[in-house]
Amino acid sequence: MTPRTILIAAAGMTTVATRGLAQTSEGYGHMMWGGGYGLGGALMMLVFWGLIIALIVFVVRWLTVNDRTSARRDGSLAILRERFAKGEIDEEEFERRKRALGSD
C-alpha cells in the first residue's frame, strides 16, 4: 500500500465514523453529542475542569505554606521572648536575633 492509499482509506473511515455518530434529523444528534462534535466537547470539558481543580489545589497549597511560614516565625519569636524573659539572653542578643527573624 502506498501512503496515498492509506491516507484515502483513513479519510474514508473518518467520514463513515463521523456520519455514524451524527444524526441527520433535527435535534441534538446521536446521544445528544451535537452531530459528532461531542468528543471534542468532552475533551474540552475535561481540560476545563482539570484546570479549575489544579487552580484550587494551587491556591490551597499556597495559603497553607504561607500560614505555616508565619506560624513558624511567630513561634520562633515567642521562644526568643521567653528566653529573654528567663534571662538566658541579654537585650542586645534579643534585638540581634529578632532582627535576624525579620520581626521589627
Domain ranges in the chain are 1-36, 43-104
Average of per-residue pLDDT across 17-31: 53
| Other Cβ atoms closer than 10 A to 69 | 10
User: 33-37, 61-65, 80-84: lowest mean pLDDT where?
Assistant: 33-37
pLDDT for the residue numbered 78: 86
Grade residue 51 by pLDDT with cuts at 50, 70 and 90.
very high
Q: Do 21 and 14 touch, CB atoms closer than 8 A? A: no
Classify 96 in phi/psi space as left (phi over 0), alpha (psi -120 to 50) or beta: alpha
φ and ψ at 6, to 5 degrees?
A: -65, -40
